[in-house]
A and B are shown apart, each in its own frame.
Chain A
């Protein structure tokens, strides 16, 4: 079973994240960059499936030069090879354009499954895996909290608002995983050393057969009109409990007409 895992470099949620003043686009230089946590769970899922069923794991990312770091991290965890879509023309692409570039790259690869995280911590559209299923004409098996492979059928529990849904799907398919799927392994020293010599292929917009006017900020399907830092939420009243605080909160809520 050959698997392609989508990984994304995102600003660390523990650092202060900013938008660029000029165009309201994420300032990727302003914050520490890491592999999105959910994507390391996607890599773990792929490693477990190939360990059980054979096959190779390819990790695929789209991003600038430094996004190579997340590919090396996934290779150190045990992925076999990596593909990096890297072209300045792609900067500022929206989710729809990103899915077009990822789908074009996936068409050049051999796979039984595409695995992604359910939602990135920066863009948070939670829709790119569904968009890829649409573009590739494959079933989407998304927001999975558990996965079982039974021959050429996938059985998945999908997490939805207020419960979960049991799904079955033929393979090949596009799968996305939620944080409940597993605990990702840490790369060991041997893995980190081995990652240095694993192959990383770079693809440009031209390699993908995309026209320059299909991608990038100037051609994005959505545009930012205005972006403003929200005025910091002012801290209100703070009291130390001296036995009456519960009643004081009730008075405060009543004064605010909340009870």
Chain B
């Protein structure tokens, strides 16, 4: 069976959950190989965990330059490995970096790219959810090695452990045509899970009314072990920072449970959360469009309903 390359996503040496999801999807097509691009030593440190997640090989594309320049070292590493391994597909996470790497790689390898898919089949065809989930589209790449970016949280990781053998890779980086990374700032998400990958998301909208009121959203998120999100209206009104915006112009989420507090459900917001498995909404306006897609809707005051729900969830955890 031919290899399927998976670009490993990690933060400060810790694997992102989507990496396991990608390796599971890769195993449907062929033999998964993980590709770690970064500073020397990183791949060896992750090899056992990547093997447990299903990686037969762990390519170590490592150099001091690899983290200095934006995107291009990763493209160069993947193109170098693809030239010798002749993989049947290359899978990446549909993150900001993942999608840009995929685009450049498709140009360099003269193939095609399927972006932000929600499922991947054994023949390397893939499923898109487009226009905010109003269409389901199956598509395939018709020329060259299929390059596919997978939306985090779309595929359940069901790993079959494999060897995780580290294979060093020599590659070069063209510094002259690259932007330089001067500093990386992680904006604090506290102890909460990352918005794009969380299995529970609790979001607040205009109905929350102020930044001072936003803890009502945070408390419920913490009780449910979820991430906090915000609608564009809430972000634009300054209630919550921009990196937590859910919707067409923010993060697209697809959690097991999405709780919308004081969000009317404009189509741009729905575009970013409509593929959630279960949707609960609380809104004062019984005509709010969010209720059209809610599995459980409450017409009422979020400042009464959310704290009661928070207490009930905490009580169940205690029992």
Residues of A within 8 A of B (CB): 13-14, 17, 19, 24, 38, 94-96, 99, 121, 123-131, 133-135, 137-143, 154, 156, 158-169, 173, 179-180, 220-230, 233, 235-241, 243-250, 252-254, 256, 258-259
Which residues of chain B are near A141, meaning CB under 8 Å? Answer: 70, 179
Please, could you name 10 A-B residue pairs with CB atoms under 8 Å apart, sorted by A? A96-B113, A131-B103, A161-B95, A163-B184, A222-B141, A224-B137, A230-B134, A235-B293, A241-B299, A245-B298
Q: Are B243 and A19 in contact (CB under 8 A)?
A: no
- Judged by a CB distance under 8 angstroms, whether B181 is at the interface is yes
Q: Are A221 and B113 in contact (CB under 8 A)?
A: yes
Q: Are B113 and A235 in contact (CB under 8 A)?
A: no
11 other A-B residue contacts (CB within 8 Å) besides A126-B103, A167-B179:
A125-B115, A131-B107, A135-B107, A139-B178, A160-B96, A165-B70, A222-B112, A223-B139, A225-B140, A235-B292, A240-B299
DSSP class of A's interface residues: helix, strand, loop or mixed?
mixed
Q: Which of B26-34, B46-54, B204-212, B307-315 contacts A (4 or more CB under 8 A)?
A: B307-315
Q: Are B299 and A99 in contact (CB under 8 A)?
A: no
Which residues of chain B are near A94, meaning CB under 8 Å? Answer: 112
Among B95, B104, B194, B196, contact of A134 (Cβ-Cβ < 8 Å): B104
How many Å from the CB of A238 to the closest CB on chain B?
A: 4
Q: Are A230 and B133 in contact (CB under 8 A)?
A: yes
Number of A-B contacts defined by CB within 8 Å = 268
How many Å from the CB of A149 to the closest CB on chain B?
A: 14
How many Å from the CB of B78 to the closest CB on chain A?
A: 13
User: A125-B115, A127-B102 in contact; A166/B135 too (CB < 8 A)?
Assistant: no
User: A128-B103, A225-B125, A259-B224 in contact; A161/B194 too (CB < 8 A)?
Assistant: yes
Which residues of chain A are near B71, meaning CB under 8 Å? Answer: 130, 140
- A167 CA to B183 CA, complexed, in Å: 7
How many Å from the CB of A86 to the closest CB on chain B?
A: 23
- A99 CA to B296 CA, complexed, in Å: 44
Q: Are A166 and B294 in contact (CB under 8 A)?
A: no
Which residues of chain A are near B306, meaning CB under 8 Å? Answer: 246
Which residues of chain A are near B297, meaning CB under 8 Å? Answer: 235-239
Q: Are B96 and A161 in contact (CB under 8 A)?
A: yes
Q: Are B180 and A168 in contact (CB under 8 A)?
A: yes
Bitwise, B122-135 to A at CB < 8 A (1) or not (0) is 00010001110111
User: A221-B143, A238-B299, A250-B309 in contact; A163/B108 too (CB < 8 A)?
Assistant: no
Closest chain B residue, CB of each to CB of A242: B300
- A239 CA to B256 CA, complexed, in Å: 22
- Judged by a CB distance under 8 angstroms, whether B116 is at the interface is yes
Q: Are B111 and A221 in contact (CB under 8 A)?
A: yes
- Judged by a CB distance under 8 angstroms, whether B242 is at the interface is yes
Q: Which of B35-43, B158-166, B266-274 contacts A (4 or more CB under 8 A)?
A: B266-274
Q: Which 8 A-B pairs have the closest CB atoms?
A: A246-B308, A241-B300, A127-B103, A221-B112, A250-B312, A130-B100, A236-B295, A246-B309
Closest chain A residue, CB of each to CB of B115: A125
How many Å from the CB of B251 to the closest CB on chain A?
A: 8
Which residues of chain A are near B311, meaning CB under 8 Å? Answer: 246
Closest chain B residue, CB of each to CB of A238: B297
User: A180-B242, A246-B311 in contact; A221/B141 too (CB < 8 A)?
Assistant: yes
Bitwise, B66-93 to A at CB < 8 A (1) or not (0) is 0000111001000000000000000000
Q: Are B104 and A162 in contact (CB under 8 A)?
A: no
Which residues of chain A are near B136, meaning CB under 8 Å? Answer: 227-230
Q: Are B106 and A252 in contact (CB under 8 A)?
A: no
- Judged by a CB distance under 8 angstroms, whether B191 is at the interface is no
Among A129, A237, A240, contact of B286 (Cβ-Cβ < 8 Å): A240
User: A96-B112, A127-B113, A128-B103 in contact; A169/B180 too (CB < 8 A)?
Assistant: yes
Q: Are A221 and B142 in contact (CB under 8 A)?
A: yes
- A225 CA to B256 CA, complexed, in Å: 28
Q: Are A235 and B106 in contact (CB under 8 A)?
A: no
Q: Are A14 and B267 in contact (CB under 8 A)?
A: yes
Closest chain A residue, CB of each to CB of B310: A246
Which residues of chain B are near A241, meaning CB under 8 Å? Answer: 298-301, 304-305
- A167 CA to B185 CA, complexed, in Å: 11
Which residues of chain B are near A128, meaning CB under 8 Å? Answer: 103
How many Å from the CB of A235 to the closest CB on chain B?
A: 5
- A229 CA to B292 CA, complexed, in Å: 17
How many Å from the CB of B122 to the closest CB on chain A?
A: 14
Which residues of chain B are near A227, meaning CB under 8 Å? Answer: 135-138
User: A17-B131, A164-B185, A225-B125 in contact; A125/B116 too (CB < 8 A)?
Assistant: yes
- Judged by a CB distance under 8 angstroms, whether B144 is at the interface is yes
Bitwise, B168-192 to A at CB < 8 A (1) or not (0) is 0000000001111111111101000
Which residues of chain A are near B106, meaning CB under 8 Å? Answer: 95-96, 127, 131, 221
Q: Are B294 and A235 in contact (CB under 8 A)?
A: yes
Which residues of chain B are near A134, meaning CB under 8 Å? Answer: 75, 103-104, 107-108
